[in-house]
Structure 1
Amino acid sequence: MADPLTSSIRDQITALLADEISLLEFQDWLVGATWDIERHADPDVADLTYSSKLALAELSRGDISPTAFRERLRDHIGTAVPSR
């Protein structure tokens, strides 16, 4: 069974990729929900969190395009989400 936080992160990524929430809403949620991720028992949750935050940082610095960002998030959740 998936960790509840893992499920929540995946749900938020799916909502972002489906344009149900904005990038700012996703970022605000992710930071708030995972501010103490180091204390979480499941390393997979931490990996998903850190990889998502890294993608956000790379997007904000212009290191990756919005398309590459969305593809990276899609890869993180490992499901087919329609691309824009």
Structure 2
Amino acid sequence: MQPKEGARRVFLQNRGKQEKKYKNVEETIKANQDRMKRLQKRLLKIYSVDFMDKKNYDKVITTDGKTIEENIDDVLKAIKKFQKKHS
């Protein structure tokens, strides 16, 4: 998911009282980027794997602008392709 789309989704969510409310989507993008950098650094230290490196995945599915049904269809197609390749 693109950073702007992720931030838009977070910004529009009705979140709990303990979670920070952002003034706008741009502030949300910055907060998301900072959080992801901290998480990336922590997991790299613990597991020695960069979860943000797309080379670590067989398939990356972009969900921006798609319905749940379209995303499910993409996932099922990827699973079938993977099963065919490894059977």
Which is richer in helix?
1
Q: Could you tell me the TM-score, scaled by structure 2's length?
A: 0.27
Larger Rg: 2
Q: Could you tell me the TM-score, scaled by structure 1's length?
A: 0.27
- Which structure's relative contact order is higher, taking Cα pairs within 8 Å and 6+ residues apart? 1
